[in-house]
Amino acid sequence: MLRVESISYKLNNRPLLKDISFSIRPGEMVALLGSNGAGKSTLMRLLSGERKPDTGRIMLYGDDLAAYNRKILATRRAYLQQHNPISMAFTVREVVMMGRYGFKSGSSAKNDQTALLETMELCGLTDLADRSMLSLSGGEQQRVHLARVLAQLWDNKDAVLLLDEPTNNMDLQFQHQTLAIAAAMAKKGYMIVVVLHEVNLAAQYASRIIILKDGRKWWDGTPVQVLTPQHIYTAFGIHAQAYTDQSSLKTVIVPKEIKLDAAKFNSNLQVLHQPVYKLKTTETDELINLQSVKI
């Protein structure tokens, strides 16, 4: 179990995280949601050990993360960062194999090879194995990094996998595939923490959702409990409706109306007499008349 006990974190005297506590059991997939700047990535950096909390502690299976042996921790926790720049011409195979380096001495070459081949296949990379990273698209590169962190934990079914916006740059198919992989890993016993911006992806795949706002944990529960119109408005400042999709029984959030100041909008575009704009929302086919909307 991963237990976050009352952690707080300041940077240059500015509190970024305030008194956050929660626990995650093996088999749970927790989505962290919140507006830009709410503190999601900062929390992930603390969970990953990249930064240390000023107060409170983070426990993994009863031991403080700060006191863990680094090699053992590398087999029990992996972190996919939001940005993973690569400037050298490593091949896909080499980058995925880097996931195995943290505990090289404790893992057999056969296990490494199995992890490499299975994670590359899972992430749809088998045909790209010998390509240079520098030749890949942004979404393909992101899949390679996903395979790298999966390879890191491949032998340890009760490990923690931290994914910060893993679907960045991915097309629709791979967004779903990535989260389906994460959900399948959770079913095997892994603990997954995933930062997402798309609330409907969170509703579809996460077993639990935590919403952060201004560095605090505001809500924590199942998607049905957390993704209410009121919470969405408080967290994101947007009016939305929540439906239950009848075939999947998952919550679906549909934004109602986007508030734009039509006058400013027009003058910024240097349009003097613009006819009525019509925006079509994908979910509802509802038409929004921007000129009728006032802040």
Ligand X SMILES: Nc1ncnc2c1ncn2[C@@H]1O[C@H](COP(=O)(O)OP(=O)(O)OP(=O)(O)O)[C@@H](O)[C@H]1O
Helix, coil or strand: residue 272: coil
Q: How far is the CB of 41 from ligand X (least distance, A)?
A: 3
Residue from the set 4, 31, 40, 206 that interacts with ligand X by CB under 6 A:
40
Q: How far is the CB of 46 from ligand X (least distance, A)?
A: 10
Helix, coil or strand: residue 110: helix
Nearer to ligand X, 50 or 171 (CB): 50
15, with CB counted inside 10 A (0-12, 13-18, 19+), is middle
Nearer to ligand X, 36 or 87 (CB): 36
- Give the number of residues in contact with ligand X, rule: CB under 6 A: 10
Residue 42 binds ligand X, judged by CB under 6 A: yes
Say how far apart CA 230 and CA 2 lie, in whole Å.
29
Site map (CB under 6 A) of ligand X, residues 20-39, x = contact: --------------x-xxxx
How many CB atoms are located within 10 Å of the residue 224 CB?
14
Q: How far is the CB of 149 from ligand X (least distance, A)?
A: 18
First to last CA, the chain: 46
Residue 52 binds ligand X, judged by CB under 6 A: no
Could you tell me which residues come within 8 angstroms of residue 162 by beta carbon, excluding any fewer than 6 positions away? 44, 47, 48, 77, 78, 79, 80, 193, 194
Residue from the set 11, 66, 271, 276 that interacts with ligand X by CB under 6 A:
11
Helix/strand number for the chain, H first, E second: 10, 14
Nearer to ligand X, 11 or 66 (CB): 11
CA distances from 229 to 19, 237, 239, 251 (A): 25, 10, 7, 11
Does an H or E element contain 151, and which?
A: helix 138-153
Nearer to ligand X, 82 or 274 (CB): 82
Interface region with ligand X, contact rule CB under 6 A, candidates 40-48, 116-124, 152-160, 257-265: 40-48
Residue 81 binds ligand X, judged by CB under 6 A: no
The residues of the shown chain that bind ligand X, judged by CB under 6 A, are: 11, 16, 34, 36-42
